[in-house]
């Protein structure tokens, strides 16, 4: 099996190689929706790493432990993964892919998001939302290799192990891939829910905020809310515009930092400069994902959540970051 698969190469048969997150984004990329370019470090690379570092006995021992004894074993396994040795072939494959991705930007430095994509996540029956690592604004090859190890280690966090136990997956051997995508320096970002929790299937709910969108996903701040008819794309009630005094932005040296906005900006609709995130007719057609023409709907199918980022000063239009089946 290959170590690297590019997003536009991923097919339906590749789920065990790329995991749920990368598979969903591969579907969307093939459908012609704007997705940040990137590649996937496949589960084959993870399996080779586990074998080369003799981690299989520790994994098997952890799988057999009762939940109350698994925490310490999980932490030890995570430490072993972070300290593990990456083969020269693996490092070269990742560096080559990263340089190819950077070349598409014609820049010396290409900030990327490094995202876990486990084979058991983003399924209708188990999302694993927030349980595996995502590292933002990774800026060079050495940071990228460390971030891959961190994603692999996150497969065995105590929370992830406990979640699998509760989902009756404790005895199954989980695998993980790592998705590497060009970082979107978002002016505004949000989540699109294809089924409104109050108005039902006929209405789409959009939640948005300034910056990278972590405020929306983590629930750590107030967000704007828009309720949109899924057939006409008309707003069915006045939007709720929140007071948003801070936003997450890309830090110059990597990672993220909190920027405290001016009072005037804090009270503005975050979609004034990124209106394609609001669900208006020019951006979301019936049954379509943001930025996708009507009749090509793989995004806003029923019971789906989408993450969207808009960076109009970098590239026009919204870009889709994530698609997760709702349960």
Q: Per-residue confidence at 284, pLDDT binned at 50, 70, 90?
A: very low
Average pLDDT (280-296) is 35
pLDDT at 164: 82
| pLDDT for 126 beyond 70 | no
Edge-to-edge strand order for the sheet containing 304-310?
224-229, 203-210, 188-193, 304-310, 318-325
In whole angstroms, give the CA distance from residue 194 to residue 202. 9
The residue count for the chain: 327
Helix count and strand count (H, E) for the chain: 9, 12
In angstroms, the CA 24 to CA 15 distance is: 9
Contact 44, 17 (CB under 8 A): yes
Give the Cα separation of 8 and 33 in Å (integer): 11
Angle of helix 88-103 relative to helix 43-52, nearest 10 degrees, comes to 150
Distance between CA atoms of 293 and 285, rounded to whole angstroms? 6
Is the separation of the CB atoms in 182 and 36 below 8 Å? yes
pLDDT confidence of 101, banded at 50, 70, 90?
Answer: very high
pLDDT confidence band for 176 (50 / 70 / 90)? very high
183 has a pLDDT exceeding 80? yes
Does 280 score more than 70 pLDDT?
no
Q: What is the mean pLDDT of residues 88-104?
A: 92
- pLDDT average, residue stretch 233-262: 75
The per-residue pLDDT for 53 is: 98
* Distance from C-alpha of 180 to C-alpha of 187, rounded to nearest angstrom: 21
How high does pLDDT run on average in the chain? 78
Furthest C-alpha separation in the chain = 58
What pLDDT does 281 receive?
A: 32
* Predicted local distance difference test score (pLDDT) of residue 168: 60
Domains of the chain: 4-182 (3.30.1490.20), 188-325 (3.30.470.20)
- pLDDT digit string, tens, across residues 38-91: 999 999 999 999 999 999 999 999 988 887 788 999 999 999 999 999 999 999
Instruction: Tokens for 305, please give them.
Output: 């959540």
Given a cut of 60, whether residue 250 has pLDDT beyond it is yes
Whether 324 shows a pLDDT value over 70: the answer reads no
Decide if pLDDT at 310 tops 90: no
3-state SS, residue 134? strand
| pLDDT at residue 293 tops 80 | no
Q: Is the dihedral of CA 175, 181, 183, 188 positive or negative?
A: negative
Average pLDDT, stretch 166-181? 80
What pLDDT, on the 0 to 100 scale, is given for residue 311?
A: 55
Predicted confidence band of residue 278 (pLDDT cuts 50, 70, 90): very low
Question: In percent, how much of the chain has pLDDT > 90?
Answer: 34
- Range among 61-75, 122-136, 140-154 with highest mean pLDDT value: 140-154
Q: Which of 109-123, 157-171, 182-196 has the lowest mean pLDDT?
A: 157-171
pTM of the model: 0.80
């Amino acid at each position: 099996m290959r170590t690297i698969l590019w997003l536009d190469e991923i097919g339906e048969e590749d789920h065990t190689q790329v995991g749920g997150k990368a598979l969903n984004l591969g579907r969307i990329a093939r459908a012609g929706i704007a997705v940040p370019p990137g590649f996937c470090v496949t589960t084959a690379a993870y399996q080779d790493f586990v074998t080369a570092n003799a981690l299989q006995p520790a994994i098997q021992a952890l799988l057999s432990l009762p939940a109350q004894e698994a925490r310490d074993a999980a932490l030890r396994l995570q430490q072993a993964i972070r300290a593990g040795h990456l083969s020269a072939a693996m490092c070269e494959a990742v560096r080559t892919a990263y340089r190819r991705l950077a070349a598409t930007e014609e820049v010396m430095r290409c900030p990327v998001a490094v995202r876990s994509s486990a084979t058991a996540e983003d399924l209708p029956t188990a999302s694993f939302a927030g349980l595996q690592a995502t590292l933002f604004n990774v800026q060079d090859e050495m940071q990228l290799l460390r971030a891959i190890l961190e994603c692999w280690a996150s497969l065995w966090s105590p929370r992830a192990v406990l979640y699998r136990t509760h989902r009756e997956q404790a005895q199954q051997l989980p695998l993980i891939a790592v998705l590497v995508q060009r970082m979107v320096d978002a002016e505004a970002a949000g989540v699109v829910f294809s089924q409104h929790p109050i108005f039902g299937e006929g209405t789409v709910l959009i939640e948005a905020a300034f910056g990278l969108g972590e405020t929306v996903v983590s629930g750590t701040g107030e967000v704007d809310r828009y309720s949109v008819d899924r057939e006409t794309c008309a707003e069915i009630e006045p939007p709720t515009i929140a007071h948003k005094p801070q936003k997450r932005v890309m830090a110059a040296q990597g990672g993220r930092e909190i920027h405290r906005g001016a009072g005037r900006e804090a009270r503005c609709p975050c979609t004034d400069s990124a209106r394609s995130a609001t669900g208006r007719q020019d951006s979301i057609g019936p049954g379509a994902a943001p930025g996708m023409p009507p009749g090509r709907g793989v995004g806003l199918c029923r019971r789906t959540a989408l993450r969207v980022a808009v960076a109009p000063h970098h590239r026009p239009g919204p870009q889709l970051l994530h698609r997760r089946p709702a349960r």
